[in-house]
Amino acid sequence: MRTRNICQIVLSITPGPRQPVDLDSFLHPLVAELSVLAKGIPGVRVFGSPNPVTMRANVVQITGDMSAVDMLLNTTGYNGYSPGRHRKYHVVYHASSRYYYFPPTDPTNEHAVLFCVDNCTAPKRTAESIGRDAAAVEEARSSGGSLAYPTAQSKRSGIKGHSLLLAPSEARRLAYA
């Protein structure tokens, strides 16, 4: 092991019926501290080194159950039209049961492959593509139209808006730069 528990910051979220409405307000102090640590703290004396060094820290991993990570990343989650965080998959909507299904082939065309684990050709999501989806949802929400349009756009993309940890808005990025 290269790190020990003393080198980790643990954040605990307990979702429930009275979970915070604005989770980002609780994350701002953590992100501000991580931003300072990422820039580096100069003059730290490290055992075995004759000269002081600049110590830096970065986020290595975010873990949790599905609902907690969905809240942190501001995604729609496993029950949405686009549940994959890493790839966009094709979905089949069953209107009578109001559920989304991910069959391996399209029921209307047996030759059209929709989902494949081996040699998957679905495009990978990147931080930029997630940021674009978040910006599109935020713009639809701020346009002043009906609530149905941003909700539908959020379901299609799988992203509910900007996330401090995954795809921060440009204003948030500049605030913590």
DSSP string, 11-54: ------TT--S-HHHHHHHHHHHHHHHHH-EEEE--TT-SS-EE
pLDDT tens digits along 136-165: 999 998 888 788 888 888 888 888 888 888
Q: 173 vs 47, 124, 132, 133, 166, CA distance in Å? A: 34, 23, 14, 16, 11
Task: Identify the sign of the CA torsion 133, 79, 63, 25.
Answer: positive
Short-list 153, 111, 115, CA closest to 134 = 153
Single pTM value for the model: 0.68
Rounded Cα distance between 78 and 91, Å, is 12
Residue 158 lies in a domain: yes
Residue 97 lies in a domain: no
Question: Which pLDDT score, from 0 to 100, does residue 15 have?
Answer: 59
Residue 93 lies in a domain: no
Question: Which pLDDT score, from 0 to 100, does residue 16 have?
Answer: 63
Looking at the structure of the chain, the number of domains it has is: 1
pLDDT tens digits along 73-87: 888 776 566 666 677
Question: Which pLDDT score, from 0 to 100, does residue 108 have?
Answer: 77
Residue 49 lies in a domain: yes
Strand spans (E) along 52-142: 53-55, 92-94, 99-101, 105-106, 109-113
Rounded Cα distance between 137 and 139, Å, is 5
Residue 101 lies in a domain: no
The residue range of the domain holding 71 is 5-88+123-175
Residue 77 lies in a domain: yes
Question: Which pLDDT score, from 0 to 100, does residue 162 have?
Answer: 87
Short-list 160, 156, 15, CA closest to 88 = 156
Rounded Cα distance between 27 and 40, Å, is 20
Question: Which pLDDT score, from 0 to 100, does residue 1 have?
Answer: 43
Residue 84 lies in a domain: yes
Question: Which pLDDT score, from 0 to 100, does residue 32 have?
Answer: 86
Residue 82 lies in a domain: yes
- Please list the ranges in the chain whose pLDDT falls under 70: 1-18, 78-85, 89-90
